Amino acid sequence: MLGCVCGCFLLLPRLLHAGGPWFVDEKGSGVPYTWAGGTIIWYADAGGLGAFSGAEIIDQVKKAFDVWMNAGLHLPGMVKVNTVQVSAVLGGILKEKLTPENLMKHLNKTLIIYDEDGSILTGEGVNPQDVAAVTFLGAKMDPTTLHHLAGVTVLNGLFLQDVDPANPGGSKYARFLATLVHEFGHLFNLDHSALNWENINEIVSDIGAFGKALPTMYPVIVEGGGQETLHVDDVVAISTLYPRADFTSKFCAFAGVLVGSDSLGFQGAHVVARPVKDPMTFAISAVSGNALPQGAADGSYIVRGILPGEKYTLSYGKINPAFVMESSLQPYGDEEGETPRSGFENAPITAGNGKATTVLCNAPGETVMMDTIQLEIPSGGTFQAKNPLVSASTPMAPPATATGGSPGGDPETKAGAKKTFGCTFVLP
Ligand SMILES: [Zn+2]
């Protein structure tokens, strides 16, 4: 993949990206991290949270995992096809309530933490007034097998203070459920989705009309946004990481390459496929080069989950410049002071040497190749793959986002860990 410009379609079978993996092979193989067998074994904190009993929280956590396990896409005629192979298993309930002081000794397990007073979030440098939940991933992973071994989701009790378990129809309750589903997307190694960010004001001001325009993995959970259920974009993202055979055999893909003015692959552009019939609700997004580390000079993308026989338009553009740090999308923006790529304008992606502005696939399983598009700015790519022998024995560099002093003093959550809390709220 190194220096991949226009000839990289030979490598297509290895291109697992599109739909956003969070952690990818740092050595540049193009393979994202996953959980072995698609299975997360998780442990529940002791006690309850807010007005919820322990049993009620566990029930909600299971329901949120179920949303991902049951994900599927609809073929024309509304036939639902299960496209995902993931599972989550409750390994047990901890005997002691997790605190900043005792957290470290439990971090070999995947934990759902009930942070009643926000002290664990505070200890990790997160303001509990800003967020409903945070997921930490990347501290326990195996660079040889590319498997995650453990992760942590912290549920913020302060957010839940006025959520009533007896009122599951309440809007804050729905946002709590949406937050759980969003965080477990991260636990499965999904990145954020920036789909429809250009229309966010329109969507929020008329949420009834655009209620299904925002993916669950959008960095913001919106009042009334229905993000407790998955958008097509979310289903494609999880199916791309953990596909059932039907996902690749019954749906199509659009693939192509963006290059900079220096003719090197342009990484970090937002690519969106929109069905002509319903361009908002059934759109699917990808980020060019997001299967490789930053600077890889890889401008390839592949948008999967495309309906056979359905007309789409494709375009590329910027990612919201506000999506930085914990709200970022790989591979640009999660380091202090770093922003998504900018300096270029949104534009259509054509097919057939500029002839076609709409595209469709005729045969299930087909991958339609789009034109290679050159942007007006340089790619910025300089990536050199690391020597695998060196990197296998070298810890990953701790990113700036995870260096806050923790009362738990846990060096293992810090080294290589990334966190996300992209779950601030748009209030009515
Ligand atoms: Zn998030």
Of 253, 308, 251, nearest in space to 17 by CA: 253
CA atoms within 13 A on the CB side of 411: 3
From ligand 1's centre to the CA of 181, what distance in Å? 10
Residue carrying structure tokens 């660079």:
143
By the 10 Å C-beta count (0-12 exposed, 13-18 middle, 19+ buried), 425 is classed as middle
Task: Give the confidence band of 20 by pLDDT, cuts at 50, 70, 90.
Answer: confident
Task: Give 328-388 as a DSSP string.
Answer: -BTTBS-STT-----SS--EEE-BTTTTBSSB---STT-EEEPPPEE-SS-------PPPH
CATH number at residue 250: 3.40.390.10
CA 11 to the chain's CA centroid:
23
From ligand 1's centre to the CA of 168, what distance in Å? 23
Asked whether the predicted pLDDT for residue 187 surpasses 50, the reply is: yes
375: left (phi over 0), alpha (psi -120 to 50) or beta: beta
From ligand 1's centre to the CA of 151, what distance in Å? 14
- pLDDT, mean over the chain: 84
Q: Is residue 1 part of a domain?
A: no
- 3-class SS string, 271-297: EEEEECCCCCCCCEEEECCCCCCCCCC
Q: What is the pLDDT of residue 382?
A: 67
Q: Which domain holds residue 30?
A: 8-426
Coil vs helix vs strand at 90: strand
pLDDT tens figures, 277-286: 999 999 999 9
Coil vs helix vs strand at 229: coil
State the Cα–Cα distance between residues 259 and 169, nearest whole angstrom.
48
Number of domains in the chain: 1
Question: Which residues on adjacent β-strands are paired with residue 286?
Answer: 271
Q: What is the pLDDT of residue 208?
A: 83
Q: What is the pLDDT of residue 401?
A: 30
Q: Is residue 3 part of a domain?
A: no
Task: Give 98-137 as a DSSP string.
Answer: --TTTGGGGTTSEEEEEETTSHHHHHTT--TTT-SEEEEE
- Please tell me the least confidently modeled range out of 1-10, 36-45, 46-55: 1-10
From ligand 1's centre to the CA of 197, what distance in Å? 15
Task: Give the confidence band of 19 by pLDDT, cuts at 50, 70, 90.
Answer: low
Q: What is the pLDDT of residue 378?
A: 93
Percentage helix, strand, coil for the chain under 3-state DSSP, each rounded to 5: 20, 25, 50
From ligand 1's centre to the CA of 92, what distance in Å? 25
Q: Is residue 131 part of a domain?
A: yes
- Please tell me the least confidently modeled range out of 226-230, 269-273, 315-319, 411-415: 411-415
Task: Give the confidence band of 422 by pLDDT, cuts at 50, 70, 90.
Answer: very low
Of 328, 245, 258, 344, nearest in space to 296 by CA: 258
Q: What is the pTM of this model?
A: 0.87
Q: Check: CB of residue 118 under 8 Å from CB of residue 90.
A: no
From ligand 1's centre to the CA of 2, what distance in Å? 30
Q: What is the pLDDT of residue 423?
A: 46
State the Cα–Cα distance between residues 401 and 208, nearest whole angstrom.
36
- Rg over CA atoms, the chain: 21
What is the DSSP secondary structure assignment for residue 224, as one 8-state letter? Answer: T
Q: Is residue 2 part of a domain?
A: no
Of 64, 86, 424, nearest in space to 228 by CA: 64
From ligand 1's centre to the CA of 426, what distance in Å? 14
From ligand 1's centre to the CA of 255, what distance in Å? 26
- Please tell me the least confidently modeled range out of 59-68, 111-120, 124-133: 124-133
From ligand 1's centre to the CA of 410, what distance in Å? 22
From ligand 1's centre to the CA of 286, what distance in Å? 16
